[in-house]
Amino acid sequence: LSVLVVTCPCALSLATPTAIVAATGALTRLGLLTTRGHALETLARTTHVIFDKTGTLTYGRPQVVAVEPTGEREARHCLALAAALERGSEHPVGRALAASADPSVPGAAGLRNTPGSGIEGWVEGRRYRVGRPEFAAGLSAAPMAERTDLDAGSTWVALGDESGLLAWFQLADSLRPGAAAAVAALRSRGLTVELLSGDRVEVVAHVAGQVAIVEAVGGMSPQDKLERLRELQGQGKVVAMVGDGVNDAPVLAAAQVSLAMGSGTQLAHATADMILLSERLEHLARGVDMARRTLAIMRENFAWAIGYNLIALPLAAGGWLTPWMSALGMSFSSLLVVVNALRLRQA
């Protein structure tokens, strides 16, 4: 009877769930919601962190600051056409275009979204595209004229039809406060940080310089991001992806652990393992710290539970422990595991 009581697996069964529950509660109070059980353990083993740009390192609320028609059409008309195509879009650039135009513009039909490039549709019987310049120019057989005068710190999208490009739209976004400090904190913890974005190369390089990210690539489609992610995973790296938009959903789903911004789309939230409700990037480093502490506490709990059984079992089998002593030892072992896990309640 002493052997049966002393070998009760209570401490072993409590070692992991108590630590995860305590850590999850602490992170939720901090503003980092854990939605899947494996997230903490995987985050503790992460070696690479990949950031998207729009809505992640930046606020993701760009504003239209300039409209440059390329022909005889008025700037207001070009903006109205772009807004008609982007009405109902969840992408930050699409929302900015839709919000900047007259709400009385005609609606668009036959809309077709190309993730990472733009959207195509029909307005008043004519087919248009709005999005990346090369995508918008794709309806026309004429080659797109290169522009070297674009502001590197702004996002530029274009409107085009079968005759060529009709207008350029300049949008400006602002960097989140604490973004540079968050990147520095992650790097100080031994993590490699990369920036992958579908925005123009010049814009991505500008943002990367502001936050001190060396590995930054612009002009990437969702498929390009996915291939880069799989390349790192093929090298044995554990990758955490931080994003917010519809275009990030495939990469968020493929990463070992994924984090979505609280202001991100519902699809990003459904795909992500953790959601940064606080919108404060500096909480990412604290999340990594908590995940590593959780893993350490779990190992301590397992070591104690196994060590207790290795010591108590021979004593019980040899008759040195009576049943009531075994019950006390088993209870004390379980209590110790729980108390050790409660150390994680402070984020």
Helix (H) or strand (E) holding 302: helix 282-317
Are 131 and 158 in contact by the 8 Å Cβ rule? The answer is yes
Q: Which two tokens stand for residue 97?
A: 């275009």
Strands 63-69 and 164-172, bridge-based pairing? antiparallel
Q: What is the pLDDT of residue 26?
A: 93
* Statement: residue 275 has pLDDT above 90: yes
Q: What is the pLDDT of residue 72?
A: 85
Read off the pLDDT of residues 188-235 as tens digits, 9 standing for 90 and up: 999 999 999 988 888 899 899 999 999 999 988 889 999 999 999 999
Q: What is the pLDDT of residue 104?
A: 65
* Statement: residue 145 has pLDDT above 80: no
Once rounded to an integer, what is the mean pLDDT over residues 123-128? 90
Place of tokens 């090298």: 235
* Statement: residue 273 has pLDDT above 80: yes
Closest to 62 (Cα-Cα) out of 39, 80, 89, 42: 89
Read off the pLDDT of residues 61-100 as tens digits, 9 standing for 90 and up: 888 989 999 988 889 889 999 999 988 787 888 888 888 8
Q: Which two tokens stand for residue 90?
A: 């969840």
Are 196 and 220 in contact by the 8 Å Cβ rule? The answer is yes
Are 29 and 40 in contact by the 8 Å Cβ rule? The answer is no
**Beta bridge partner(s), residue 120:** 112, 129
Helix (H) or strand (E) holding 114: strand 109-114
Once rounded to an integer, what is the mean pLDDT over residues 16-22? 91
- Catalytic center residues: 52
DSSP letter at 67? E
Q: Which two tokens stand for residue 305?
A: 């539970």
Q: What is the pLDDT of residue 310?
A: 83
Q: What is the pLDDT of residue 267?
A: 79
Higher pLDDT pick, 253 / 103: 253
* Statement: residue 149 has pLDDT above 90: no
Distance CA 83, CA 1 (A): 77
Q: What is the mean pLDDT of the chain?
A: 88
Q: Environment class of residue 324 by beta-carbon count within 10 Å: exposed (0-12), middle (13-18) or buried (19+)?
A: exposed
